[in-house]
């Protein structure tokens, strides 16, 4: 049987002089060779196996047990474990009382499931631009997007950083709107000491296998502030005959993994803090911005670029980004984009077919602005940032994060190579290519 487990450990990082060696893209040795680039998560232990064996005797009970444990951990009042993250978002919307034809304001930068869940609720997604520093829903843009039929604001805690809950809550209360969180990146992330998922009227969260807190395969959970929202979501499932229930296997695995989540969080925070400090010494690369009062859970780690600091300000920033990304990948650092278009530019929102005959889009009582140029902050972010995804999720080795830091320093020290590659390849803006997920 083929295994994903590595045959030997990643070597300790080379001395700091490694940054002076030739770039791998130009023929030098990579800092991480191809046999050592895979990262493993989650880690499966005997507790997971024993939990699964015990749960097989009473599969229904383990789903309820897991739901109760995780609702308590998050600090929510009510919860429904679901078969997927999208299902949890759908139930959060339904539970909050969103009716067909009503509007939900959400960020133009997220995973497509956020917007598809709105469509599943037969509501109309209205997109707003993001904040330039946090990359989360910009409260001012969200308020401008509110119309007569708007029923809810739906912020996403992007990459594991809480949205600006203070501002969004003030708007939602003043305008009589529901506040519904997409916490799919935000396991253990906090805003003023409270865990994301417990901050709004309702929330949805993915627990799929590549998240910071994974269950066995696909899964999710919807959280609710009050009993009426919880009851409404339950009735919706029962009345429509929808099987959104989480599998007992996923719940059993999640229950044992939950006991190790604080450990995983601590490792990830330690690694992110180390990499942030090292990036700040490079000039070219900038770590994520974290506002006071927020605890970032680092489901992803988005890195900004400052071409001016290394004399590349005359080049288009997307060319600097693409060249740096190519050089980093050659060194063994899995630098990515994660989304290349605003969500309204993806086909389901360009075509607006919905459930047939244009439902729910045809129910909108105003023109829907899904034009790419309407979201300049999203475009600027896509042009000027790169992302580490699962490569920072614990428990990655400390030597790996040290080697990643060396790779960023090595690339930043070679603006000449970045310039040469940018001129030779004539890279395009990321959003000039067809929309893709992830």
Query: Which CATH number characterizes residue 396's domain?
Result: 3.90.1150.10
Predicted local confidence at residue 200, as pLDDT: 98
Q: State both tokens at 263.
A: 């450990």
Q: State both tokens at 79.
A: 């919860």
Q: Using the predicted structure, report yes or no on whether residue 438 has a pLDDT greater than 80.
A: no
Pairing of strands 294-295, 301-305: unpaired
The answer on 224 and 143 residing in a single domain is yes
Structural domain includes residue 346: no
Structural domain includes residue 321: yes
The answer on 65 and 35 residing in a single domain is no
The answer on 163 and 114 residing in a single domain is yes
In terms of residues, how long is the chain?
Answer: 438
Q: Using the predicted structure, report yes or no on whether residue 210 has a pLDDT greater than 90.
A: no
The answer on 201 and 73 residing in a single domain is yes
Predicted local confidence at residue 2, as pLDDT: 62
Number of domains into which the chain is organized: 2
Q: Of the candidates 259, 276, 296, which is a domain's last residue? A: 259
d(CA 267, CA 269): 6
Predicted local confidence at residue 377, as pLDDT: 98
Structural domain includes residue 106: yes
Pairing of strands 150-153, 178-182: parallel
Structural domain includes residue 390: yes
- For residue range 355-398, list pLDDT tens digits in order: 888 999 999 999 999 999 999 999 999 999 999 997 787 678 88
Q: Using the predicted structure, report yes or no on whether residue 400 has a pLDDT greater than 80.
A: yes
Enclosing domain of residue 276: 16-41+261-339+380-432
Contacts for 321 with CB less than 8 Å, ≥ 6 apart: 305, 383, 384, 385, 386
Predicted local confidence at residue 217, as pLDDT: 82
Predicted local confidence at residue 52, as pLDDT: 87
Q: Using the predicted structure, report yes or no on whether residue 159 has a pLDDT greater than 90.
A: yes
Q: Using the predicted structure, report yes or no on whether residue 4 has a pLDDT greater than 90.
A: no
- For residue range 70-79, list pLDDT tens digits in order: 999 999 999 9
217: nearest Cα among 83, 57, 88:
83
pLDDT averaged over every residue in the chain: 95
Cα three-residue angle 197-199-201, rounded to 5 degrees: 90
55: nearest Cα among 214, 217, 256, 221:
256
Q: State both tokens at 149.
A: 């039929």
Structural domain includes residue 372: no
The answer on 281 and 185 residing in a single domain is no
Q: Which whole number is the average pLDDT over 269-276?
A: 96
Predicted local confidence at residue 177, as pLDDT: 98
Predicted local confidence at residue 3, as pLDDT: 66
- For residue range 331-358, list pLDDT tens digits in order: 999 999 999 999 999 999 999 999 888 9
Q: What percent of the chain has pLDDT over 70?
A: 99
Q: Using the predicted structure, report yes or no on whether residue 85 has a pLDDT greater than 90.
A: yes
Structural domain includes residue 344: no
Pairing of strands 190-191, 194-195: antiparallel
210: nearest Cα among 187, 239, 226:
187
Contacts for 317 with CB less than 8 Å, ≥ 6 apart: 305, 307, 383, 384
Q: Using the predicted structure, report yes or no on whether residue 1 has a pLDDT greater than 60.
A: no
The answer on 280 and 154 residing in a single domain is no
For 306-315, b/e burial (b = at least 16 CB within 10 A) is bbeebebeeb
Predicted local confidence at residue 5, as pLDDT: 73
Q: State both tokens at 135.
A: 């990359």
The answer on 171 and 91 residing in a single domain is yes
The H or E element that residue 384 is part of is: helix 376-384
Beta-carbon neighbour count of residue 33 at 10 Å? Answer: 12
Q: Using the predicted structure, report yes or no on whether residue 185 has a pLDDT greater than 70.
A: yes
Of 187-191, 194-198, 284-288, 399-403, least confident by mean pLDDT is: 399-403
Q: Of the candidates 216, 236, 259, which is a domain's last residue? A: 259
Q: Using the predicted structure, report yes or no on whether residue 13 has a pLDDT greater than 90.
A: no
The answer on 289 and 151 residing in a single domain is no
Q: Of the candidates 259, 289, 318, which is a domain's last residue? A: 259
Structural domain includes residue 296: yes
Q: Which whole number is the average pLDDT over 420-427?
A: 94
Structural domain includes residue 4: no
User: 331 — phi, psi (to 5°)?
Assistant: -80, -10
Q: Which whole number is the average pLDDT over 408-425?
A: 97
Give me the CATH number covering residue 108: 3.40.640.10
Q: Which whole number is the average pLDDT over 131-144?
A: 98
User: 60 — phi, psi (to 5°)?
Assistant: -70, -35
Measure the N-to-C terminal CA separation of the chain; round to a whole number of Å: 29
Three-state SS letters, 24-44: HHHCCCCCCCHHHCCCCCCCC
Q: State both tokens at 237.
A: 């499932």
Q: State both tokens at 282.
A: 């490079």
User: 92 — phi, psi (to 5°)?
Assistant: -60, -45
Q: What is the CA radius of gyration of the chain?
A: 22
Q: Which whole number is the average pLDDT over 157-181?
A: 98
96: nearest Cα among 224, 215, 248:
224
Predicted local confidence at residue 42, as pLDDT: 77
Report how far apart, in Å, the C-alpha atoms of 115 and of each of 42, 43, 90, 125, 370 are: 28, 31, 10, 6, 12
3-state secondary structure of 290: coil
The answer on 112 and 30 residing in a single domain is no
The answer on 387 and 276 residing in a single domain is yes
Q: Which whole number is the average pLDDT over 415-438?
A: 94
User: 100 — phi, psi (to 5°)?
Assistant: -55, 135
Confidence of residue 436 (pLDDT cuts 50, 70, 90): confident
The number of CA neighbours under 13 Å toward the Cβ of 273 is 7
The answer on 190 and 298 residing in a single domain is no
3-state secondary structure of 212: coil
The answer on 98 and 84 residing in a single domain is yes
Q: Using the predicted structure, report yes or no on whether residue 404 has a pLDDT greater than 80.
A: yes
Confidence of residue 317 (pLDDT cuts 50, 70, 90): very high
């Amino acid at each position: 049987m083929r295994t994903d487990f590595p045959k030997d450990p990643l070597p300790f990082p080379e001395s700091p002089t490694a940054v002076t060696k030739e770039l791998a893209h130009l023929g030098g040795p990579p800092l991480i060779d191809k046999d050592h680039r895979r990262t493993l998560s989650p880690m499966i232990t005997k507790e997971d196996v024993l939990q699964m064996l015990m749960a097989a005797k009473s599969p229904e009970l383990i789903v309820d047990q897991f739901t109760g444990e995780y609702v308590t951990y998050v600090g929510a009042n009510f919860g429904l474990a679901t078969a997927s993250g999208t299902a949890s978002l759908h139930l959060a919307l339904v539970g909050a009382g969103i009716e067909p034809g009503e509007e939900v304001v959400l960020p133009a930068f997220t995973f497509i499931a956020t917007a598809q869940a709105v469509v599943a609720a037969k509501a109309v997604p209205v997109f707003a631009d993001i904040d330039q520093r946090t990359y989360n829903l910009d409260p001012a843009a969200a308020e401008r997007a509110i119309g007569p039929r708007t029923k809810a604001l739906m912020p996403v805690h992007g990459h594991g950083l809480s949205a600006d809950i203070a501002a969004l809550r003030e708007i939602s209360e003043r305008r009589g709107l529901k506040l519904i969180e997409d916490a799919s990146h935000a396991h253990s992330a906090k805003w003023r000491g409270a865990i994301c998922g417990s901050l709004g009227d309702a929330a949805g969260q993915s627990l799929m296998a590549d998240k910071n807190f994974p269950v066995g395969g696909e899964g999710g959970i919807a959280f609710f502030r009050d009993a009426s929202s919880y009851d409404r979501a339950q009735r919706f499932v029962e009345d429509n005959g929808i099987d959104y229930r989480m599998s007992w296997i996923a719940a059993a695995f999640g229950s044992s993994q939950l006991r190790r989540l604080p450990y995983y969080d601590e490792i990830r925070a330690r690694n992110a803090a180390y990499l942030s400090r090292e990036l700040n010494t490079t000039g070219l690369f900038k770590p994520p911005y974290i506002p006071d009062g927020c605890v970032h859970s680092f489901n992803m780690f988005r890195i900004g670029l400052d071409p001016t600091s290394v004399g590349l300000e005359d080049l288009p920033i997307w060319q600097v980004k693409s060249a740096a990304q190519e050089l980093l990948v050659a060194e063994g650092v899995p630098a990515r984009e994660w989304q290349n278009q605003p969500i309204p530019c993806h086909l389901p929102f360009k075509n607006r077919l919905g459930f047939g005959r244009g439902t729910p889009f045809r129910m909108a009582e105003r023109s829907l602005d899904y034009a790419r140029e309407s979201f300049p902050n999203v475009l600027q972010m896509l042009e000027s940032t790169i992302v580490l995804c699962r490569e920072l999720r614990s428990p990655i080795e400390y030597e790996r994060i040290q080697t990643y830091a060396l790779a960023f320093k090595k690339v930043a020290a070679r603006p000449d190579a970045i310039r040469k590659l940018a001129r030779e390849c004539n890279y395009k803006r990321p959003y000039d290519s067809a929309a893709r997920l992830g």
